[in-house]
Amino acid sequence: MELSFILNGKPKRLDTEPERRLIDLLRKDLHLSGTKEGCGEGECGACTVIIDGKAVHSCLVLACQLEGREVLTIEGLEEAGELSRIQRIFVEETAIQCGYCTPGMIMSAKALLMQNPHPTEEEIRNALAGNICRCSGYTQIIRAVSRTAAEGGQ
């Protein structure tokens, strides 16, 4: 099928199969490997991207659901060749260890801040509950999200 959608701010047209998963489209067809696959069943959150302002699992979205939608991946966050604020704060707060959960975690956090610029800790914990980090106890991640909010958003 012919598919047109917006990817990281730019219109994208491609020929694909309706049942192609978004994560395969990104990683295999468009060589955007920042989005990670951790379980393929919506349990770990590593593949989280933002579609029309909302965090979703790219392993649970098919090409046929994407027409005209706006997809934002981790690769779309850098601004003028530099890390965006939320990314930089994740780095500074040592909220990154093995890093495999990081792109999905940042996308979930960003989606939260887009809708709720001043979340409470409880709201942050809730918004990130679907993103598993096996290295940390989430402390530094939650701190990074709070600080991003305090410093003016994602």
The nearer residue to another protein, 6 or 83, going by C-beta atoms, is 83
In this chain, which of 7, 25, 46, 149 binds another protein, going by CB under 8 A? 46
CB of 153 to another protein, least distance (A): 17
Query: Residue 144, Cα to own-chain centre: how many angstroms?
Result: 15
The number of residues that bind another protein (CB under 8 A) is 81
Dihedral, CA atoms, 100, 5, 63, 128, nearest 10 degrees? 30
In this chain, which of 4, 54, 150, 151 binds another protein, going by CB under 8 A? 54
Q: Interface mask (CB under 8 A) for another protein, residues 88-127, using x and -?
A: x-xxx-x-xxxxxxxx--x-x--xx-----------xxxx
CB of 134 to another protein, least distance (A): 5
Does 29 bind another protein (CB under 8 A)? Our answer is no
CB of 121 to another protein, least distance (A): 9
In the sheet that holds 2-7, the strands lie side by side as 10-15, 2-7, 70-72, 48-51, 54-57
The nearer residue to another protein, 12 or 83, going by C-beta atoms, is 83
At a CB cut-off of 8 Å and minimum separation 6, what does 142 contact?
Answer: 121, 124, 125, 128
CB of 70 to another protein, least distance (A): 14
Does 154 bind another protein (CB under 8 A)? Our answer is no
Looking at the DSSP bridge assignments, the partners of residue 22 are none
Does 10 bind another protein (CB under 8 A)? Our answer is no
d(CA 17, CA 62): 9
d(CA 70, CA 26): 14
